[in-house]
Structure 1
Amino acid sequence: MHEHAERPWSVHYGPGVPTQIDIPDEPVTAGLARAAERWPDRIATDFLGATATYAQTEQAVRRAMVVLDDLGVRLGDAVALVLPNCPSHLVAYHAALRLGAVVVDLNPTYTEAELAHLLADSGAKVALVFHRAVAAVVAAKPSTELRAVVSVDVSRDLPASAQLLLKLPVKAAREKRAALLGTVPDGVRDWHTLIKRARGEVPAAPVGADDLALLQYTGGTTGTPKAAMLSHRNLVANVVHGQAWASFREGEETVYGVLPFFHAFGMTFCLNLAGHIGATLVMFPNFEPETVLKAFGRRPATFMAGVAPMFDRIAAAAEASSRPPTEGLRQARLGFAGAMPIPPSVVERWERLTGGLLIEGYGMTECAPIALGNPCAPTRRPGTLGVPFPNTDMRVVDIDDHTREVEPNEDGVRRGELLVRGPQVFAGYRNRPEETAHQLLEGGWLRTGDVVEVDPTGWVTLVDRVKEMIIVGGFKVYPSTVEEHLRSMTGIADVAVVGVRAPGGDDHVLAAFVLEDGAQAPTVDEVRAHGEQRLARYALPRRIEFVAELPRSQIGKVMRRQVQEMFTRDE
C-alpha cells in the first residue's frame, strides 16, 4: 500500500464501480442548477408534506441570492446557517454558495456560549437563525463580526394545513409551537418576509472548484471545535464517489434527510447528493421514528443515510405498528450507516424489513466525510469499514511513529493508524496551522486517528480511536473491543469503556453500564469474570458505574470523553 501501488481492494468493488473517477471541475451548487433544467417538474423537496419542484426550488434560490446580496453578503464572506433540516436551509445554503460565500453550518440546539464561540471563530458576517435560537445569537452578536441576524420561522415551511393546526388552542399544538418558535428580539428581520419582497436577480459569483465552500466544525476527541476548510472540489468529489458506489439512478431516487444537514454526513448524503442526482429530498426537522415511518407510506425512500440507532428504531416502530407501510418500506433499496459500527442484529432487522441492503461506511469531517465503505453488494461485511472509495488511497502506519509503515503479521494483516488521501480530503483547519500540520501530512495524507486492521486484500476493520486508547501497565487497551464483549452480558443495554488516571500515572479501565429495564446490576467481580472469557487481564474493568443513559452526539455516537469527565471531574 505504498504511494504509487495499485489498489488491491478494488477486487471488492461492486459491479461497475471504477477505481478512478474524473471529478467535475465545478462548484457543488452546479448539480441542483442542472437538475432544475433536466427535471423542472420533478419534486425536489418534501417537508412533512409541503412540496416544491426543482423549478420552484431554483426560483427560491435565486430570490434568496437577492436577499443575501441586500444583506451585504459578498465573495468570500462567511454566512452562518443555524437551522434544522427544512427547505429554507437548502435554499439558503445554495444561495450563499452561488454568491461565493462560505457556509458555516451550526447546530441550532447549541447553547449561547457555544454559538458565540463558533460565530466569532468563523468570522461569520450574516447569520440565518432558527426562530428558537435567535435570542441566543443576538446576545452573542457583540463578540462576533456579525452584521446581520435574520430569523427563520421553520413553521412557515410546513404545509398550509399544518400551519393552521399549529394555531389551534390545544395541548398538542402548543407543544409543537414551543418546539418551533421562540422569542425574537425587536429589530430582527424575518427570512420569509425578505424572500417574499425580493425583486430582480443578482448574478452568481465566479466560483471555482478549489474555492472554499464550507467551514465545517469538528471537535474530534479533544472536544475543541476546529473549522475544517472544505472546498467545492472536496464536496463534489464525495458526492460523485457516492453516486458511483451506490449506482444511483439520476432523476429517480428518493432520499430521506433524517441526518442533520449541519453534520458532514447529512450535508453530503442528503443536502448535496439529492440535488446532484435529481432526487426528491424528503426532509425531517428532527428524528422521530414514527414520523419517518409515516413518510414511508406517503413518499417512500429508495436511499437513506443514517446511524445504526436510527435504522433500528424505525424497524422497531414498524414492527410495533398495527398497519406498517410494508410496500413503502420495500422500496428502500439501500441504507448507508456511519459514525459507529452497525450491530449485525440491526442489519438483519432492517434488511428483513425492507429487502434492501444496509451497508457501513467510514469517514470524518476532514474528508467531506466518506473515505471508505462496504460494497453495495451481498459481499458486504457488517461491523467492518470496508475498502477505500474510488480515487482514495490508504496507508497503515505505526501508532507511535506515523513515518513508519507497519509490516503485515504472519496472516498478512496490518494493524496501525489509518492514513487516507484523496480529492475529498480537506485543506486544513482555519487559523490553526499547528493542528493542520499534525493532521495533514506531506503528500496530502490525512491522519485519521483510528487504529485499524487491514487484511491482505485491503479490507479494513476498525479497532479503536488512537486518542481513546487506554494504557494499562504499558499495554494498549482498545475500548471498542472491551465494550463489544461486555455488551453480551445478561441485562446490559449498553456500555462505554474509558480510561481513568490512577495513582502512579497508570490508567484503570472503567466501564459505565446502562442496564435493561428490571435488570440487576452486576458486581465488579462478575464483570471481570465475564470479561476473562475473551479479554486479557489488563483489559478488564477495575471500576464500574451505572448511568441512566450514555451521552451521545447529535447523530447518536457515544461521547467517551464526556463519560470520562463524568467520573473524573471531582478527582
Structure 2
Amino acid sequence: MENSDTIPAALAATAARLPHGEALVDGPVRLDWTQLHEQVLGRAEWFAERGIRPGDRVAMCAPNTHHWVIAALGALTAGAALVPINTRFTGPEMRDVLTRSAAKALVVADDFLGVDRLAEIGDARPEVVLRVPTDWTEVTASKFAGTVAPDDLADILFTSGTTGRSKGAMTSHRRTLGVAEAWADRAALTPADRYLVVNPFFHSFGYKAGILAAVRRGSTIVPQATFDPVRTMELIEAERITVLPGAPTIFQVLLDHPERASHDLSSLRIAVTGAATVPVPLIERMRTDLGFDTVLTAYGLTEAVVATMCRAGDDPVTVATTCGTAAAGFEVRIDDSGEVLLRGPNTMLGYLDDPEATAEAIDADGWLHTGDAGALDERGYLRITDRIKDMYICGGFNVYPAEVEQVLARLPGVTESAVVGVPDDRLGEVGAAYVVRSGEVSEVSEKDVSAHCEANLANYKRPRRVVFVGSLPRNASGKVLKRMLRVEGKEAP
C-alpha cells in the first residue's frame, strides 16, 4: 500500500517488528505498537468516512496527549496533510491558519488553559470537528486501504514570519521522516528508550523529533500536556524515562527544584537541548546532578527541523557553545555576510501559497537562507553568533518582532513601536516593546498595551516590558536601530 518512506508505512513496520512493545503511555492509556497501529487505522477510516480525502488538510489544536498522537497519525494515514496549531494562539491567530490552510477538519481540545477554542474561531470552523476528549471514542481497524506516496505533502507547519505574517512551511513524508531518522540516529534511540515528550506536539521538535522519531525506532512515547516540574519528576520515576529533550529552562528548573532529591531520576540517559544560549555549567550539572549520560545540543528551524546536532561524547564546552555538526544529509556553509546557509534532502518544499517568500528563502542553487549568523570551526561544528533576523526565542518559542509590532500598530494612540528580545533568567529572552504614543491620544498606558496584546497574541509573544519613548533611534536611511534598543533593554526594569 505505502512506500517505506511514508509515515503510515513507518508505523506499520514498527508494529510488525515490535508487536508487543510498549508504544504509548498516557496516564491509564497504555498501548503496544499493534494496538496503536489498529487505533490509527481506525481513526484514518473515521476521517475517510467523513469525507477527508488524500491531499485535504487536517488541523490539530490540542495539548500533548494520546489523542493528538492517534489523530495525527490517523490523518496522515488517510492521506491528509497535518496542520498543527499552537495551543497558545488567540482566536484571530487560529482563524488565520485555518483559513489559509483551507483545513477541512479540526481536532481541537475542549478546554485547555481555560480557553474555548471553538468559540474563538467562529465562522472559520471546518466541516469536520473532533473535540477531545468530549467526542473521543476508541475506533480500531485491522486494515485501511488508503494510499500515501513518499513525496505527498505530509504537513504544513506555520511559523511567524519576519514580515509580520505567519508562513506555512510544507514538507513531504520522505523529508519529514528524514529529519526524524536523523534525530533518532544522533540520539541513538532504541526500542528500550522511554521518551517523555514535553516539547509541544504542534512544534516540529515535539512532532518530528518526538512522535515520529519514536515511531521510527520503536521507543515508548510518554506525552506531557504542560511542563510541571513535580509531575515531570514523577513521570521520570514512575515510567523510568530515559530520554528527555527540552529547552534549557526546563533543566534549570528541575535542577533548582527543592523536591528533586526526593525523586529517583536515575533512569535518565539522554537530553537534547538548544533554542537558547546554554551555559557550560548547566551542561555539567545536567550530567552530574540529573544523571544524564549524554547531553546534546542541536540547531534547526521549521524549514529544516534538524540541521546540525552534537554527538555523544562531545565535551561540555563543545555542547554548550556549538550546535554540533551537519546532520540529516545537510551541507552547512557561511556566506560572505556571515549568514548560515543549509542545503540538503530534507528542507521544506516551500511556503504555502507564497512563491515569492519561497524563492527568497531557498535560492536557485538550493541553499536555504536561515537568517542566522554563525561560524564553523575546523571540526565542522556550527556556532550561532547572532541573528540576522530580528527573531528572538522566549521559553523555546520563536518570536518575530514584526508580528508583534503589527498588532501594536492597531492599538489606538500608538504611532509606532519597536520590539526586541532582551535577556531573561527564566525564559532566555522576553520581549521589550518601545512604544511611541500619538500626539492626539497620549493617555495610552502600559495596561492598555498589555490588554491589547493579551487579546491578540499568544502568551509567549506578548512583551513583558513596555517602555514609552518620544522617538525611536534611526540610522541615516530611517531604519530603526534595534541594536541600541537591545542595549537599553538589558537595563530595563
| Per-residue CA distance 1:264-321 (angstroms, 9 max, x = gap) | 111112111111111111111111111110112111222222111112112223x544
In structure 2, the CA distance between the partners of 1:78 and 1:396, relative to structure 1 (3 Å rule), is: same
Say whether residues 1:74 and 2:39 are aligned partners: no
Say whether residues 1:338 and 2:286 are aligned partners: no
Say whether residues 1:391 and 2:324 are aligned partners: no
Distance in 1 (CA, whole Å) between partners of 2:5 and 2:149 is 6
Say whether residues 1:546 and 2:492 are aligned partners: yes
Partner of 2:386 in structure 1? 464
What letter is aligned with 1:59? E
Partner of 1:36 in structure 2? 15
Residues 363, 370 of structure 1: 8 Å contact kept:
yes
Helix, strand or coil: the match of 1:453?
strand
Tell me the CA shift for residue 383 of structure 1: 2.3
Distance in 2 (CA, whole Å) between partners of 1:542 and 1:273 is 42
In structure 2, the CA distance between the partners of 1:466 and 1:61, relative to structure 1 (3 Å rule), is: same
| Per-residue CA distance 1:154-199 (angstroms, 9 max, x = gap) | xxxxxxxxxxxxxxxxxxxxxxxxxxxxxxxxxxxx5324x45x7x
| Per-residue CA distance 1:96-131 (angstroms, 9 max, x = gap) | 111110111112232111111110011100111101
Partner of 1:59 in structure 2? 38
Tell me the CA shift for residue 374 of structure 1: 1.2
- How many residue pairs get aligned? The number is 419
Say whether residues 1:276 and 2:216 are aligned partners: yes
In structure 2, the CA distance between the partners of 1:119 and 1:493, relative to structure 1 (3 Å rule), is: closer
| Per-residue CA distance 1:513-558 (angstroms, 9 max, x = gap) | xxxxxxxxxxxxxxxxxxxxxxxxxxxx3566535xxxxxxxxxxx
Helix, strand or coil: the match of 1:398?
coil
In structure 2, the CA distance between the partners of 1:236 and 1:349, relative to structure 1 (3 Å rule), is: same
Distance in 2 (CA, whole Å) between partners of 1:493 and 1:237 is 30
1:180-329 → structure 2 map (5 Å cutoff): 190-193=134-137, 195=138, 203-249=144-190, 251-317=191-257, 320-325=259-264, 329=265
Helix, strand or coil: the match of 1:358?
strand
Partner of 1:446 in structure 2? 368
Unaligned runs of 5+ in 2: 393-419, 435-471
TM-score (norm 1): 0.68
Residues 228, 366 of structure 1: 8 Å contact kept:
yes
Distance in 1 (CA, whole Å) between partners of 2:354 and 2:347 is 17
Distance in 2 (CA, whole Å) between partners of 1:213 and 1:469 is 26
Helix, strand or coil: the match of 2:297?
strand
Partner of 1:427 in structure 2? 349
Distance in 1 (CA, whole Å) between partners of 2:482 and 2:16 is 61
Residues 69, 202 of structure 1: 8 Å contact kept:
no
What letter is aligned with 2:173? H
In structure 2, the CA distance between the partners of 1:355 and 1:261, relative to structure 1 (3 Å rule), is: closer
Helix, strand or coil: the match of 1:305?
coil
Distance in 2 (CA, whole Å) between partners of 1:82 and 1:284 is 15
1:72-151 → structure 2 map (5 Å cutoff): 72-132=51-111, 135-137=116-118, 140-143=121-124, 146-151=126-131
Partner of 2:406 in structure 1? none
Residues 509, 543 of structure 1: 8 Å contact kept:
no
1:397-412 → structure 2 map (5 Å cutoff): 397-399=335-337
Distance in 2 (CA, whole Å) between partners of 1:264 and 1:220 is 16
Distance in 2 (CA, whole Å) between partners of 1:104 and 1:138 is 19
In structure 2, the CA distance between the partners of 1:337 and 1:355, relative to structure 1 (3 Å rule), is: closer
| Per-residue CA distance 1:412-457 (angstroms, 9 max, x = gap) | xxxx101111121001000011100000111321111100011233
User: Which has the larger displacement, 50-59 or 127-136?
Assistant: 127-136
Distance in 2 (CA, whole Å) between partners of 1:384 and 1:449 is 17
In structure 2, the CA distance between the partners of 1:442 and 1:323, relative to structure 1 (3 Å rule), is: same
What letter is aligned with 1:314? L
Distance in 1 (CA, whole Å) between partners of 2:97 and 2:274 is 25
User: Which has the larger displacement, 226-235 or 339-348?
Assistant: 339-348
Residues 31, 277 of structure 1: 8 Å contact kept:
no
| Per-residue CA distance 1:381-419 (angstroms, 9 max, x = gap) | 3121121114111121123xxxxxxxxxxxxxxxx1011
What letter is aligned with 1:124? A
Partner of 2:473 in structure 1? 502
Distance in 2 (CA, whole Å) between partners of 1:498 and 1:212 is 38
Distance in 1 (CA, whole Å) between partners of 2:128 and 2:184 is 37
Structure number with greater Rg is: 1
Partner of 2:468 in structure 1? none
Residues 270, 293 of structure 2: 8 Å contact kept:
yes
Residues 44, 280 of structure 1: 8 Å contact kept:
yes
In structure 2, the CA distance between the partners of 1:27 and 1:141, relative to structure 1 (3 Å rule), is: farther
Distance in 2 (CA, whole Å) between partners of 1:465 and 1:124 is 33
Unaligned runs of 5+ in 1: 1-23, 154-189, 400-415, 471-478, 513-540, 548-571
Residues 375, 385 of structure 2: 8 Å contact kept:
yes
Distance in 1 (CA, whole Å) between partners of 2:181 and 2:364 is 25
Partner of 2:299 in structure 1? 362
Helix, strand or coil: the match of 1:248?
coil
Distance in 2 (CA, whole Å) between partners of 1:140 and 1:107 is 14
In structure 2, the CA distance between the partners of 1:390 and 1:543, relative to structure 1 (3 Å rule), is: closer
| Per-residue CA distance 1:331-369 (angstroms, 9 max, x = gap) | 2221111222222122112111214121110000001x1
In structure 2, the CA distance between the partners of 1:395 and 1:141, relative to structure 1 (3 Å rule), is: same
Tell me the CA shift for residue 85 of structure 1: 0.6
Helix, strand or coil: the match of 2:232?
helix
Partner of 2:452 in structure 1? none
Distance in 2 (CA, whole Å) between partners of 1:151 and 1:495 is 34
**Aligned-residue CA RMSD (Å):** 2.8
Distance in 1 (CA, whole Å) between partners of 2:262 and 2:489 is 46
Residues 184, 209 of structure 2: 8 Å contact kept:
no
Identity across the alignment (%): 27
Tell me the CA shift for residue 233 of structure 1: 1.1
Distance in 2 (CA, whole Å) between partners of 1:426 and 1:220 is 15
In structure 2, the CA distance between the partners of 1:336 and 1:222, relative to structure 1 (3 Å rule), is: farther
TM-score (norm 2): 0.78
